[in-house]
Amino acid sequence: MNTEVYKLGEELDSFNYQEVQDGILAILEKGNNVLLDMTACNYVSSTGLRVLLYSKKVAASKGLNFSLKGVSAEVQDIMSVTGFDGFFDYA
């Protein structure tokens, strides 16, 4: 299985979630693992968190990996407060 990197912009929110989700799902549909590069991202809304969780579930259902890379302190705080930090693998 190959791993493809998907790079996020500065935010993952209700304005761009569909584009991000579609991009991640396209990688998974090809049978590839996803490494989500969050280096540039400094904000994730509740909608963005749902995209991450949904992507993780789809990957798992296909026997694929979905992991996060470059998670900023701001995003780590959001994920920690919401309890989402334990759901993901980090590269």
pLDDT recorded at residue 46: 95
Range of the domain at 50: 3-90
For 43-61, letters b (16+ CB in 10 Å) and e give ebeebbbebbeebbebbee
| Tokens coding 39 | 């280096």
The 10s digit of each residue's pLDDT in 20-60 is 999 999 999 999 999 999 999 999 999 999 999 999 999 99
pTM, entire model: 0.94
The count of domains in the chain is 1
pLDDT band at 66 (very low <50, low <70, confident <90, very high): very high
pLDDT recorded at residue 1: 75
**CATH number of the CATH domain containing 74:** 3.30.750.24
The 10s digit of each residue's pLDDT in 68-90 is 999 999 999 999 999 998 999 99
